[in-house]
Structures are given as C-alpha cells and as structure tokens.
C-alpha cells in the first residue's frame, strides 16, 4: 500500500513537472482542491471530452448536445432537492480546529473493525494453509464473531441516523465509540451541523434587487429545464438523449486525492428520455455501453468494476457506478442512474409549466422517465494518467518515465526531431511538420541530444518520434520511433500520415464502439 501511495505522489509531481496539472493560484500558495490544467493537460482533457462527445452525438442519431449556463434560476435547486438535501454532516475538533465529515469519521471506525476481522482471517489462513475454509471460519471463530457483532451494531445505528437525518445521534455515536481526531488525538468535538455543498453568490448590483444564486453543483438540471425546448425545436421523438459537458461546483469538505475530489470540476452528463416502463431496459443498455466506452481505451479490462447500489435514492429505481482501480483503490468514475420521472415532475410542480411528451404512437401524453450517465472529466483524466504512468528499468541500467496514454488521447501525436541543426535537416523537418500539422498535434524540437528529446516525449506520452537524419535528405525516409516498444523503423515520409493516423485517430477508437 505504501508503495502505491508513493507512486501516486510521483504521478502528482509528474503531472506538474510536465505541464499537465498545476495547483491553482500557486504563487499565492494555492487554493484548496482547485487545480489548473497546463499545456499538455488541456490537450489530454479536450481529447477525453471529444471522445465522449462524439461517442454520444455522432454514434447516436437520437442524442443531441446543449451548453446551458452555469447560473440558473434558484428555484431549480429547490425543485431538484439540492437546497434541502445536498448536505454533508460536519463536526469540528476544538483542539486541532480541523473540520471533518461526521459520516466519514464513523465510516472510518467501521472500516477499522472490518480490518481487524480481515487480520484474523489472514492469520488463520496462514496457519491452516490449503485446508482453510474461510466461510466456515468467519461463521464460527469467536473473535471474528465478536468484532462482526460490534461492526453490525455500529453500522445499523449509523445507517439509521443517516436515514433519519439525526445529527444528535451521529454526535452520540462519535461519543460512544470514543472516536478521536486523528490530528489532536482528542475527543473535544462540537455538535454536528448540516453543511450545504452549494456555493452561493448574489446576482444584481443594487442592494434591494439582488437575488441569491448558486453555482451549479451538477450539469444535469440544465438539461432537464431545457427538455421541452430541445424536444420541440429538434422535433425529437422518444427515446432520445441530451448531452452536456460543463463545469460544476461543490464546496467539498474533505477534499483529498488531487483532482479526484475538487471544488470546481467538470462533468459530462447525458440524460436519456424514455417511455415509462422501458427504463430498466435502457438502464442495462447504458450500463453496458458506458463500460464498453471505457474499455475501448485499452487501459486493462481488469481495472474496471461495477458497483451496483443497494440503497437507492428515493427517486431512483436502479443505479450503478463504474469504478476504476486508482492507486488508492477502486473508486467511482461514473454513475449510471435510472431516475424515473422525478426531475421533470419536480420542475413541472415548481415552475407551474406542463412538462410532458405527446407520444404519437400511443396517442397520449406523459412525463418521460430518465436514464442518466454522469462522468467526471477530471476523474477520467486521473484514471488515464494513473494507468499510463510507468517507471521503466532499461537495459544498461538506464531508466525512463513513460506515459502509455491511449494514443488517440495523447496531447502530442508526434515529435519531429532533426538529428542535428545543420546539413539541411531542420529545413526537411519543417517540411514534414508543415505536411502533418493539419491532421496531428506535432511538436518540433531541435535542442539537446536526440536521446534526451526522446525521454521528454516519453514523459508526456507522445506516441511517435520522427527523426530526420542525413539519409532523409537523400532519400526522403525517416526513422519512426514507437513510444511503448522504443523500436525504430525506417519509413518513407509519404507513409507517415497513414501510419500515425491509423494508430492515433479518434475515429478508430469510435469504431470499436459500434
């Protein structure tokens, strides 16, 4: 585990050193859980967004996109439930002056008990070897049963308190289980308070005409409130979807793990509107389609798993997460939710406007049901970065850091490198650059030894290096170096667009999805 955390730290510094992700406002010592994307980061991020956008809008005739404003009428957040229920229970430690999520403190306590059980099981497994029957051991061992009972009692108390929104009981659990602040080590806690995660600001300039507005905590509501606009102007027939990419803001209390949990982040959401009764078929369709989208990137099928929700939000009738194996464990990257007609009905109720669809086949009007797919761009970015990073030992004692980015997502597709700065090589290199630059992101580099230049390109995940040497000037061939294998082959300049195109085109990636 310690090793994995080390790797994660290295990835974070690599991201900064090579222009992928910088802490926001760094010269002012940063701003908590806010990050900026650098010259390479923005290209990788844009490529992820393009892959998602095109997979939705080009590959589905019945999905269209929108771009709604970040500011929306404040009643929208009443209708969606965010004003009343988008809360985390907070607690402060009076000695360390640190703030925690009460639910996270209790969940950590539950995890500690579970760890104790796992330790007992691991010890016994070692002792009994091949004859070990784990299920039997868990059911009969005295110490395990004792821990398990303690865990179950705590868990059910915790679950009830959360369901009942009982803040006093959460505080009491922290008291009863003697949960201490990991920093001060004391139990000097405040009461538990609800904390709304939405950022609030004022719109309008004169004092009496101002209105409280929120920075949207999700992009989805912009889709719901435009349902009728899009359906009518696009003459859309059910089933159809609306896709949107945009910023979202959440005043996260426990902001950790780099760009995994940010206060300003970006979402790619698609709401798919269907006939009531057909929603679970479409839920299953999107569950599969979205996993296929992830797997097509070739980062390793074993790194993904579904996490089906047992406890559903009151408006949902099915929900699953797609989790990805980050260096700090399997974590949610995307959610797929069957949200029934909750959102559209709520907006109908709060706006007083009829939001229904007339179904010409059934000759009746109804409120459509919705399947939502919701993925964080930044979490996707992090999963790509983490699974691509490798420190490689090379023959001869050398090492290199390479990003095996999916080629279609790489910020730079090819580096164009004249071997030396003379003998017509730079001119020839420029000619090649002029030929390729309309189709591929290219980088021209002539400084330092070619070996050093290869390493710099490996570190930002450039799939190909094209080296122009003495022979190029004579016969119009170059060496083409592959990032992953480091193999070099001699190819004709005229072949370059085809070779690079086949390996790096987004179209080839999209074709895997149909």
Residues that bind ligand ATP (CB under 6 A): 218, 250, 252, 261-262, 265, 267, 332-335, 374-376, 378-379
Q: Residue 404 corresponds to which tokens in the numbers above? A: 């095996």
To the nearest 10 degrees (0 to 180), the angle between helices 425-436 and 496-504 is 50
**Pick 192 or 375: Cβ nearer ligand ATP:** 375
Task: State the minimum distance, in angstroms, from the CB of residue 28 to ligand ATP.
Answer: 22
SS3 content of the chain, % helix, strand, coil (to 5): 45, 25, 30
Determine how β-strand 414-418 pairs with β-strand 442-444: parallel
Say which DSSP state 289 is in: H
User: What is the C-alpha separation between 146 and 75, in angstroms, rounded?
Assistant: 50
**Pick 255 or 401: Cβ nearer ligand ATP:** 255
User: What is the C-alpha separation between 432 and 440, in angstroms, rounded?
Assistant: 12
**Pick 335 or 463: Cβ nearer ligand ATP:** 335
Residue number of the CB atom closest to ligand ATP: 376
Task: State the minimum distance, in angstroms, from the CB of residue 261 to ligand ATP.
Answer: 4
Task: State the minimum distance, in angstroms, from the CB of residue 311 to ligand ATP.
Answer: 13
**Pick 231 or 338: Cβ nearer ligand ATP:** 338
User: What is the C-alpha separation between 380 and 387, in angstroms, rounded?
Assistant: 11
**Pick 162 or 228: Cβ nearer ligand ATP:** 162
Task: State the minimum distance, in angstroms, from the CB of residue 393 to ligand ATP.
Answer: 34
User: What is the C-alpha separation between 329 and 331, in angstroms, rounded?
Assistant: 6
**Pick 326 or 504: Cβ nearer ligand ATP:** 326
Task: State the minimum distance, in angstroms, from the CB of residue 461 to ligand ATP.
Answer: 22
**Pick 43 or 334: Cβ nearer ligand ATP:** 334
Task: State the minimum distance, in angstroms, from the CB of residue 263 to ligand ATP.
Answer: 7
Task: State the minimum distance, in angstroms, from the CB of residue 196 to ligand ATP.
Answer: 14
Cβ atoms of 221 and 69 closer than 8 Å: no
Q: In three state form, how does the secondary structure of 84-143 look?
A: HHCEEEEEEECCCCCEEEHHHHHHHHHHHHHHHHHHHHHHHHHHHHHHCCHHHHHHHCHH
Q: Residue 440 corresponds to which tokens in the numbers above? A: 């591929």
Residue 359 buriedness (CB in 10 A; 0-12 / 13-18 / 19+)? middle
Task: State the minimum distance, in angstroms, from the CB of residue 423 to ligand ATP.
Answer: 51
Task: State the minimum distance, in angstroms, from the CB of residue 194 to ligand ATP.
Answer: 16
Strand runs labelled E in 236-283: 240-249, 264-274
**Pick 112 or 247: Cβ nearer ligand ATP:** 247
- Cα dihedral across residues 2, 4, 9, 14: positive or negative: positive
Virtual torsion, Cα 275, 277, 278, 279, nearest 10 deg: 90
**Pick 265 or 454: Cβ nearer ligand ATP:** 265
């Amino acid at each position: 585990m310690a090793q994995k955390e080390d790797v994660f730290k290295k990835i974070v510094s690599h991201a900064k050193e090579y222009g992928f992700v910088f802490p926001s406002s760094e010269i002012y010592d940063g701003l908590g859980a806010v990050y900026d994307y650098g010259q390479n980061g923005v290209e990788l991020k844009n490529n992820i967004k393009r892959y998602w956008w095109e997979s939705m809008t080009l590959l589905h005739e019945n999905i269209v996109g929108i771009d709604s404003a970040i500011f929306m009428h404040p009643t929208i957040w009443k209708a969606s439930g965010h004003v009343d229920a988008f809360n985390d229970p907070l607690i402060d430690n009076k000695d360390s002056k640190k703030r925690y999520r009460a639910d996270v403190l209790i969940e950590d306590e539950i995890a500690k008990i579970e760890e104790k059980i796992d330790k007992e099981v691991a010890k016994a497994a070692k002792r009994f070897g091949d004859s070990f029957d784990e299920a039997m051991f868990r059911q009969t061992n005295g110490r395990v049963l004792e821990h398990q009972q303690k865990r179950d009692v705590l868990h059910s108390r915790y679950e009830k308190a959360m369901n009942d929104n009982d803040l006093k009981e959460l505080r009491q659990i922290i008291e009863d289980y003697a949960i201490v602040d990991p920093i001060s080590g004391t139990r000097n806690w405040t009461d538990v308070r609800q904390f709304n995660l939405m950022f609030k600001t004022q719109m309008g300039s004169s004092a009496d005409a101002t209105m409280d507005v929120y920075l949207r905590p999700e992009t989805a509501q912009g889709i719901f409130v435009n349902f009728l606009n899009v359906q009518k102007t696009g003459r859309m027939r059910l089933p159809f979807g609306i896709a949107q990419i945009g910023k979202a803001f959440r005043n996260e209390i426990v902001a950790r793990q780099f760009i995994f949990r940010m206060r300003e982040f970006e979402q790619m959401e698609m709401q798919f509107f269907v006939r009531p009764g057909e929603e679970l078929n479409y839920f299953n369709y999107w569950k599969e389609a979205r996993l296929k989208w992830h797997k097509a990137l070739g980062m390793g099928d074993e790194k993904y798993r579904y996490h089906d929700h047992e406890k559903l939000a009151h408006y949902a009738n099915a929900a699953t997460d797609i989790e990805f194996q980050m260096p700090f464990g399997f974590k949610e990257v995307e959610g797929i939710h069957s949200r029934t007609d909750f959102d559209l009905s709520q907006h109908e109720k709060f706006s007083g406007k009829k939001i229904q669809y007339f179904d010409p086949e059934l000759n009746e009007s109804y409120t459509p049901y919705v399947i939502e797919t919701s993925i964080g761009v930044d979490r996707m970015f992090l999963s790509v970065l983490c699974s691509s990073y490798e420190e490689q030992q090379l023959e001869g004692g050398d090492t290199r850091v390479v990003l095996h980015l999916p080629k279609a997502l790489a910020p730079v597709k090819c580096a164009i490198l004249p071997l030396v700065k003379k003998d017509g090589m730079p001119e020839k290199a420029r000619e090649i650059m002029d030929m390729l630059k309309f189709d591929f992101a290219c980088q021209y580099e002539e400084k330092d030894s070619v070996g050093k230049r290869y390493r710099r390109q490996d570190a930002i995940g450039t799939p190909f290096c094209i080296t122009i040497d003495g022979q190029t000037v004579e016969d119009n061939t170059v060496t083409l170096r592959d990032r992953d294998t480091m193999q070099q082959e001699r190819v004709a300049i005229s072949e370059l667009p085809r070779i690079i195109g086949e390996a790096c085109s987004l179209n080839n990636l999209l074709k895997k999805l149909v």
